Structure formats: structure tokens, C-alpha cells
Structure 1
Amino acid sequence: MQQNETKDITVLLRAWQQGDEAAHDELGRVVYEQLRAIARRRLAGERNEHALQPTALVNEAYLRLMDGRDSPWRDRVHFYATAALHMRAILIDHARARLAVKRGGGQAALVTLDESFIGGSGVHETDFLLLDKSLRDLEREDARSAKIVELSYFSGLEREGIAELLGISVPTVDRCLRFGRAWLRRSLNVDNGDDPTT
């Protein structure tokens, strides 16, 4: 995303919070495609029979985000961090509903995790609810690492954006990502391969 677009999102967020309805419409135009890109990445590894499509995910996340102008967003980075939380919650709700419908058939909502998320090499398919449980376990062990992994996976924020949002250094983000990814590999029984970051 270009720097001037980054600034535009922050300006539009503030204008909308102050009552500018035109800013609301413009904000939707500016962020919608980015949210779609995030949703496509998050659902890319899911099996074809998965009923939740990227458009449905981003539409629901967008509606939750735009539910009220009282949201205390500070800027673009904070906005996408909030979007990440909503996307995770929507995916969890969908995975639980899918499991309830398929009870007895043993079908769960499966996602494919690649090395950008868990490190190592290759890809790994896992149950989304198991992934969520692993993230919650990680949060109990190291809340900062869990938050950073969540932001990296569900919002698509780069290391610099995560550092800016959390008010920490990029090397700290890197250390937390290494720890969090190693934790998830162990929790999800993913082969470490030859990941140079661990």
C-alpha cells in the first residue's frame, strides 16, 4: 500500500469518527480490496467445499468493523489489527457451525498453513479449531508472541506495521514470531524442516 494511501485511511477514519458520512463511503472504497486480499489469503488453503468464500468473509468483517463510529481506531495499522480480530472470530464461528452440521461425518474446516505462518518448509493442513486452540494456548504462555502471530496471519501486517502498532522494535517482533511459530509447530505437530529462523 502506498504511503499516501496509508495517510488517506488514517484521515478517513478520523473524519468518519467525527461524523463525516462521505468519509465512511470513501473509507469503504479504500480498504475493501485490501480486506478482500487478506480474506483470500486466509481462505486459500481451505478445501473447495468450504462454504465460506473470501467475499463473504470480508463482507462480514467489514460490517462488524463499520458497526459504529465509536471504535477507538487510531490509524490504518490499528484498523487492520481490528479487522484481523474480526476475521479470526468469523472463521472460528464458521468452523464451529460447520462441525455442528457435519457432526458424525467428521468434517472440520481445514486450513493450509505455509512457511510464512509457521516457518519451516512446505505446507501443513490443520483443523482451524485446532489452530485457534493452539493460539489460545500460546497466548497463555506468551501473550505478546500470540498477538504478533495473530496480526501477522489474520491481518497481513508486515513486521514494521506490527512493531508500529504495538510500540515495539522490529527485532522484538522477529523474536516473538520465531518463538510463536516454533510453539505452533510443536503444538500442531508440524515438521520443523530446515527453518533457518529457529
Structure 2
Amino acid sequence: MTSGEFTRILAGFREGQAGSEALLIDLVYQDLRRIARKHLSGDRLGTLNTTSLINESYLRLVSPAARHVESRNHFFYLASRVMRQVVCDYARARIRESQHLDRSTESDSALQALDGALVEAHYLTRVDEALEDLAKENERQARVVECRFFAGLTEGETAVALDMSLRTVQREWDRAREWLEQHMKA
């Protein structure tokens, strides 16, 4: 499907045309599923799974507040942002939950699993905070990191989602990783 066809269906959805929402879901669901799988591979946060991430992301993407989506590229960029929000919200909730647990009643294996999930949750929230700082210095690099790290898009998919050249994405990704490495060490 071309970007123009996607944009036409998206416009129909915004106008309330019958059947456009079902068509939109059919068009984006497999892509969202693939992106979510990439992002959640090796996930140790606990119960956050591909389906949950897709459903929460989709609900946010088609909410009345998100009706400003302009194109397929814009949709997938927003999907990467939404997935970042969902995953980081989930990580923060895990951290809050851990602060209320009575550790004396937990088994050793449950504590080890919880500890792994907390380490991952703290890491994700630190990356999220660092990304906020990066966005203040270089918005384009922050957008590339959102697509690559949080949505799990390839360099090529990121280039399409952000309407940039592949070489620009590669350059900004390299610079952003260097910046984040230095920032995370501090």
C-alpha cells in the first residue's frame, strides 16, 4: 500500500466513513505487532506482552486526541512515541508496585524475578529521562532514538517513519547513542 492510499483511508477514518476503521486496523495491526515483538524481545518487565502493548498503543493512536495523524509515516512515528509512553508508564508502575511489596513473604525465585524486572524498569525510566534531555538539545536525534530503541524499528523503517534519508538516520543514531552513553554514565 502506498502512503497516499494509507492517507486516504486515514482521512476517511477521521471523517467517520463506514468501514474505514476496520480497514485501518487491518493495515496497521501486523506492522504494530512486528514492532512490538521487536521491542519486547527479552522483556523482563513481567506481564507486558505484545498484544497488550499493541492494544494500548492502538487505542492511544486512534483516540480523538490523535486524530491529527497525517500519513503512514507519521502514524508509525507516533506509534514509536506511544510505545515508548506505554512501556515507560508500565516500568514506572512496576517500580511503584515494588515499593509496596512486603518482601518477607516472597519466595527467593519470585524475588529474583522481581529484581530482574525492577532493574529493567529502572533502566527504561533512566533512558526515558535521558531521551527527554536529548530532545532539549537535538529533537531529531531524540526522534530517531524513539523509533530505534522504543519501537524497535530498523534504520530503514526509521527513515521512512521520520521522512529522512537512510544516511541521516544512521548519522543521527550514531550521534545519539554516543550522547546517551555519556549521559547515562553521568
Taking structure 1 as the reference length, the TM-score comes to: 0.74
Distance apart, 1:62 and its partner CA: 0.7
**Greater RCO between the two (CA within 8 Å, min separation 6)?**
2
1:10 corresponds to: 7
1:133 corresponds to: 129
Q: Structure 1 residues 167 and 37, CA, compared in 2 at 3 Å: closer, same or farther?
A: closer
1:154 maps to 2:154: no
1:22 corresponds to: 19
- The separation in 2 between residues aligned to 1:87 and 1:20, in whole angstroms, is 27
Q: Give the conservation status (yes or no) of the 8 Å contact 1:110–1:127.
A: yes
Identity %: 32
**Bigger proportion of residues as strand:** 1
Aligned AA (2:183): S
1:194 corresponds to: none
2:56 corresponds to: 60
- The separation in 2 between residues aligned to 1:15 and 1:69, in whole angstroms, is 17
SS in structure 1 opposite 2:64? coil
Q: Give the conservation status (yes or no) of the 8 Å contact 2:36–2:152.
A: no
SS in structure 2 opposite 1:134? helix
SS in structure 2 opposite 1:102? helix
Q: Structure 1 residues 91 and 174, CA, compared in 2 at 3 Å: closer, same or farther?
A: same
* Equivalent of 2:94 in 95, 98, 104: 98
Q: Give the conservation status (yes or no) of the 8 Å contact 1:139–1:146.
A: yes
* Equivalent of 1:41 in 38, 41, 46: 38
Distance apart, 1:179 and its partner CA: 0.4
1:75 maps to 2:71: yes
1:179 maps to 2:175: yes
- The separation in 1 between residues aligned to 2:184 and 2:75, in whole angstroms, is 30
Q: Deviations over 1:20-47 (max 9, x none)?
A: 1301111111211211111111111212
Q: Structure 1 residues 83 and 167, CA, compared in 2 at 3 Å: closer, same or farther?
A: closer
- The separation in 2 between residues aligned to 1:33 and 1:160, in whole angstroms, is 18
The count of corresponding residues between Structure 1 and Structure 2 is 171
Gapped runs of 5+ residues in structure 1?
112-125, 190-198
- The separation in 2 between residues aligned to 1:70 and 1:45, in whole angstroms, is 30
RMSD, aligned CA = 2.6
- The separation in 2 between residues aligned to 1:173 and 1:30, in whole angstroms, is 25
- The separation in 1 between residues aligned to 2:65 and 2:33, in whole angstroms, is 22
Q: Which shows bigger deviation, 8-17 or 163-172?
A: 163-172
